[in-house]
Amino acid sequence: MNTTTHPVSPEDIMAFLDTETFGKEALRVEKHMRQCPACTALAAQLRDTSYRLSEWSVPPMPRQVEDAVLAAAASAAGPGNTRKARRSTPLTIWNWRLWAVGGSGAAVAILAVVAVGITLERYRRVAEISPAPMISETNASARSGGAAQMESVPAPPATSQLAPPIASMIARTVSLGIVVRDYAPARSALDAILARHHGYAASLTLNTPENDARTFSASLRVPAAELDAALRELRQLGRVQSETQSGEEVTQQHADLDARLHNARETEARLLAILQQRTGKVDEVLDVEEKISEVRGEIETMEAEQQELEHHVAFASIDLQLTEEYRAQLGGRTQPVSTRMHNAFVAGLRHASATLLSLVLFFEEFGPAILIWLAIAAVPVWFLWRRYRRALLRA
Amino acid sequence: MTDEPHNTSARPDPALLNARHPSSDEEWVAEFQKGSAQGFSILFDRYRQPVFGFFCRRIADRAAAEELAQETFLALLRALPRYRQETLFRVYLYAIAFKILNRYRRKMAFRAAFLGMPDEQPEPGVSPGMEASLAVRQAVRQLDATDREILLLRHFDLLSYAEIAKVLDLPINTVRSRLFRARAALRALLETPPRAAMTHAPLRSQEQA
């Protein structure tokens, strides 16, 4: 049967029998069927197939299933339940809840990333001594008169005057973190404390970030005998945030150094005696003088080392960190929006390129290994997938 | 015997049907959404047997068919508050049933493939005292999977071509051509002697719908 001899297709006849054709189309098929025995026979075959198919019956639904469903329906029905459920419309792209939840989630994620970034950046800036906008003051510059603030810091007293013979030598180190209300009065008080206790500042670092609290880091040296008194006063500068104390026993180290120094001095004395009492060739005299020079150098190095050690013992070290309580201010000096946008754009590009580079490096480093593992895993995965597909087709 | 809903019949245009019958499925859904338990009871009464038959004709395990039919109505119960009348209720219901059926099939396939559990019984819908339809069931089982689904949805569930196209997500012309192909293949299988039909390979036409 084809459409050249039959104006209607077999599928049209089937659709007519299934009441899927209407109007003129249905009339056309019906008219043709009345005239065409082949199409009438086809219709009879289709009816017969449907009749045979109807032999396939199924038993009625068990009573317990009906009861279970109707019981669930009875408990689910009710104005409250259905109204409550009706409010939850399907999640489409135009659903405001989707945007609200998604937007809130994205905002929280961005805020978390920014907060973590700012915190890390702050710690990084405090830890480092960066040129801008940091003001760095060092003891050396204070001694040369470069920074006015350091002029008030007293110079370290001579070690020999303050270091009596010590039976047990301990170098004490204290780390102190204090939050102060205002930086300026705290700084003045710190200078006064140092002056009172004959201490000095080995290094000072002031960090004044924009739109953030100022932080001040100082490495202080205070005579060991006055350490406790100085600490008491320092703690009164503000709220103590952290404090750690440690002591390093250097008695043995000092004794070793002392012994080595004694031996070196004796060696030097013997060499000098040889030089004065014995006569010989010029080369031999020069060798002895060279040896004396070497020993002298060693003695001076060890003496310096010994002094440094004694200084460490005589002067306790205080690593002080003052953090000013931050009070946000409206207005103030802020960068123009265009500049900030430009900077953000540049930073964004930099981060994007860094991310891409990281990805490339990752695949360069691990790509071959990943490919090998994928190749190894592919065989069993393919086998299992094929088994699963076959089982699915059977089901 | 078909599992036709009690007060619905094969209809060319569901919109016209809704206009002719004031108590259409969609109106009962609206009643249920207003809080009337009767709305769901009426719908359940109409569709309990078609849905149960839907699973019985596709799954060999009778207990599983009962469980899935119950699960379908419970899922419907949960989903009805969100139902919007852009889709016909029948299409909505059968879409849910198909999802549950496919999930069950995937689960069984997974168990058979990875856990070594026994596959389903070969003959779907067999129960004692139903040998008269054995030949029909065996013939239907040998049809192509999609052709079989279209044939069953049309013949037993009385879905229109457009509704089948929506449920199975196929073009309507594909449904039409595949339905004709399924009926032709079924007729050929039914005319084949029973022993030959038992060993007949599944019919898979090369024709692209």
A209: number of Cβ within 10 Å: 16
- Cα separation, A56 vs A391, in Å, equals 25
Task: Identify which of B34, B49, B176 has the shortest CB distance to residue A61.
Answer: B49
pLDDT: is B181 or A151 the higher one?
A: B181
Residue A277's alpha-carbon distances to A27, A272, A288, A319, in angstroms, are 145, 9, 12, 55
Asked if A57 contacts B130 with a C-beta cutoff of 8 angstroms, the reply is yes
Contact B43, B29 (CB under 8 A): yes
Q: Which residues contact A388 (CB under 8 A, 6 or more apart)?
A: B109, B110, B113, B114
Identify which of A18, A66, A77 has the shortest CB distance to residue B36. Answer: A77
Q: Do B77 and A56 touch (CB under 8 A)?
A: no
Using CA atoms, how far apart are residues A250 and A165, in angstroms rounded to an integer?
14
Residue of chain A minimizing CA distance to B45: A66
For position B193, what pLDDT does the model report? 59
Residue A307 CB neighbours (<10 A): 14
**Complex prediction ipTM:** 0.71
Tell me if chain B has a CB within 8 Å of the CB of A62.
yes
Residue tagged 């109204």 (tokens): A83
Cβ separation B52–A394 shorter than 8 A: no
Question: CB–CB of B48 and A61 under 8 A?
Answer: yes
- With b for 16 or more beta-carbon neighbours within 10 A and e for fewer, the A268-282 pattern comes to beebeeeeeeeeeee
8 Å CB contact of B119 and A391: yes
Residue whose entry in the numeric block shows the structure tokens 């000013």: A324
In terms of CA atoms, which chain B residue is nearest residue A86?
B81
Note the pLDDT of residue B13. Answer: 46
Is A82 in Cβ contact with B35 (below 8 Å)?
A: yes
Q: How far apart are CA B46 and CA B40, in angstroms?
A: 10
With CA atoms as reference, the chain A residue closest to B53 would be A58
Which residues in chain B are closer than 8 Å to A78, comparing Cβ atoms?
35, 37
N-terminal to C-terminal alpha carbon distance within chain B: 30
A279's tokens: 């006569």
Summarize the confidence of residues B96-102 as an average pLDDT.
92
Chain A hits for B125, Cβ within 8 Å: 56, 58
Per the DSSP assignment, residues forming a β-bridge with A244 are: A175
pLDDT digits (tens, 9 = 90+) for B25-75: 888 888 888 877 788 888 888 898 999 999 988 888 888 999 999 999 999
* Interchain CB contact of A242 with B (< 8 Å): no
Whole-angstrom CA distances from A304 to A159, A290, A297, A298, A300 are: 12, 21, 11, 10, 6
> What separation, in Å, do the N-terminal and C-terminal C-alpha atoms of chain A show?
36
3-state secondary structure of A255: helix
> Along chain A (395 residues), what's the average pLDDT of each consecutive run of 10 residues?
68 88 86 86 89 84 86 68 46 64 86 78 53 38 36 43 60 92 88 90 86 87 90 90 90 90 91 81 85 91 90 90 81 77 95 95 93 92 85 74
Q: Does A92 touch chain B (CB under 8 A)?
A: no
Say how many CB pairs under 8 Å bridge A and B.
162
**What tens digit of pLDDT does each residue of A247-294 get?**
888 888 889 989 999 999 999 898 888 888 777 788 888 888 899 999
Q: Is the pLDDT of residue B116 over 90?
A: no
The residues, any chain, with a CB within 8 Å of residue B115's CB and separated by 6 or more, are none
pLDDT of residue A395: 67
Map residue A244 onto helix, strand or coil.
strand
Q: Do A392 and B105 touch (CB under 8 A)?
A: yes
Question: At a CB cut-off of 8 Å and minimum separation 6, what does B164 contact?
Answer: B150, B153, B154, B170, B175, B179
Among B1, B35, B82, beta carbon nearest to A79: B35
Bridge partners of residue A132, in order along the sequence: none
* DSSP category for residue B125: T
Q: What pLDDT sits at residue B190?
A: 83
Residue recorded with tokens 């945007």:
A99
Residues of B in contact with A11 (CB under 8 A): 176-177, 180
Judge: A11–B10 Cβ closer than 8 Å, yes or no: no
**pTM, to two decimals:** 0.49
